[in-house]
Structure 1
Amino acid sequence: MDSQVQISDLENIISEKIFIKIEKWNLYLGDAGLARNLAIECISNKNQGPLDAAKISLKAINVKVGDGIKSMPLINLITNSQILELEEILESFFEN
């Protein structure tokens, strides 16, 4: 499979299923503009296996907050259930 197609396919899945949780509000990564970067990170960490690829990738993406002066790792904004969801997505995606 072409790597750009693979990135786009994973980006689309992540965009629709994975979100940042702020209080009772869910911001999907596609809407936040973070899905493509996460897809690229996940694919680059594919050899680590789905569990580690998800966590390593979520830690590698820094999200700017406020005026962009401060940032935090994406993993700090994702619930445990969303991490498991990403692991399942990667497991299924990497099998194909």
Structure 2
Amino acid sequence: MALEFTDASFKKDVLEADNVTLIDFWAEWCGPCKMMDPIIKRLAEEYDGKAVIGKLNVDDNPDTPMNYNVRGIPTFLIFKNGELKEKIVGATTHQALKDKIEAQFN
């Protein structure tokens, strides 16, 4: 299951983590975000115990998107050991996200 990140938990859960983390920046009213939801859930299952896959609602948590210049949604950020490694803007495929996650293990 995908984690729910918040502005309050972001530092501890992402920046201080020693793993690979993918964050899906989304909102309830965003059609493409809803299309991505099953892909995010699938990735969370596939990477359970290997990487952290989660979501951050931009309407409920405006600070983190502002800090990372997230201007459109969905946007996906990939962190490794607390460092931003990749930014993907817009809806994409399961395989494209998987490839970006896998690249962090090499």
TM-score (norm 1): 0.28
Identify the structure with the greater helix proportion: 1
Identify the structure with the greater strand proportion: 2
Larger RCO (CA within 8 A; separation ≥ 6): 2
